[in-house]
Chains A and B, each alone.
Chain A
Amino acid sequence: MRDWAALVEQRLAGLVLEPEERAEVIAEVAAHLEDLCEEMLRQGMTEEEAVRRALSQAGDWQDLRRKILTAKRGEQVMEKRVRQLWVPGFLTLILSMLFLTALQKFGLRPRIVWSGSNSVLLYMPWLLSLPFFGALGTYISSGAGGSRRTALFVSVFPALALAFAFLFMFPFSATIELITGRPVDFSRVAIVLLRDGIGWILVPGAALLAGGLLAHAFFSARPSSRSTAIV
């Protein structure tokens, strides 16, 4: 009598499940192969051939192991986060920044709102392009199964990244000034924060979010893929 459980265990080595759950999967697959082999024996096949054909029914054992793991565990949280958040987020950031760099290379000058030392610089063509990038991020995140909140977070990711950079930059430069003995002008820092916050974070963030919201409204209004998908 062939030890089907041992044969399956050997082939599914590396199936990282709780011991009891793993034993159940192995026993179940082994029982399936045993039934299949017996049927082939009844049809007149030699034992060797029946075993070989039964084992080959699994196809790629590594693929089977991966599929079982995914089905049992669900998709790994980290994988999901990468596909739904980080990849679309950084893609949105990189593309929007590349577009800004390209515009600057072609000689785009920022539009100055409020003159004087408190002037806010707005790159109008770039700002007008941001809803598209926000929509793109939302589309990719939603396509990867991201929730509404994640998809909208992705849409404003470039503005959040810039906010983070600003928040990090000012304490850093203040520390440098303290070390070098130069007086830190906190009122000036506050003005710069506010000015750049408007031009680089608030306005772009609003433009990105508008694109994200539009994309989300558009794609969620479409009929569920479930009713038409045949894959």
Chain B
Amino acid sequence: MGSVIPLVLAAVAVVLAWIAPALMARQRRLRRAPRAALVAWQAVTVGGILAALLTAPAALPLVLDGDEPLEHVGWLAVAGLVSGAVLLRLLVSGHLVGTRLRAARADHRDLVDIIAHHDREREQVRVLQHPTPTAYCIPGRNARVVISQGVLDALPPDELDAVVAHEQAHLEARHDLLLEFFAVAHEAVPRPFRSERALSEVRLLVEALADRAAVRRSGEVATARALVAIARSRAPEAALGAGSTAPVRLKLLADGPHRAVSAVAYGYAAMATLVPLVLLAVAWT
């Protein structure tokens, strides 16, 4: 029976890396519990990676204490190849993605520091002298919140506070690390199996989470108004592809949080990480 476990682990890896994300991206209800949903996404990703990496260790007992060790050497080699390839892809992807993001952020931050005005009250905030409303953050060391003069001119104080609170929530909760982790995992998957949808779903959840920080600061109405105001002033440029995240996020503000969804997501997350570990334990007993 032990000989089946490496195969099962490899299958679990495929399920968690490929099938589960596709199914999860379709579960709109998860969005009502963004924190728990993000934990579930991380768990599925970690679980998939674990399952792949543990395929070789799970095949080891076949050779070490099997009746006919030589017969199983081939299996071990295949399992080792699978685990090794996944490890290599992850390391390479981690290095490439990390380097790229750090360089891009640092360059952009340097530029913004030179061309933008510094906010006297808020040390992290930079103001670009431009009428088009925009707001974003540059994560990393020496993080910045960047807003344009257009935002300052268009939004009343409570809505402006909501926008800044949203961006600061990204920085304080280190959402950049979260997104970087998903980006690394995404790029480690061979191109035909990558799911853009999974990545944009995760991005939406991160935004929904930051929106909650904005709500805590300025209330639901001010947060919703800020979203609509910025969407309206940017509407002519059109979003890339199929619309922006604004309608969904507004709907989430209207719907409010959902406890039951949250509980299900945490349960699912626990399962996704435990299954590979349990399988390894079984292989070694």
Q: Do A and B come from one complex?
A: no
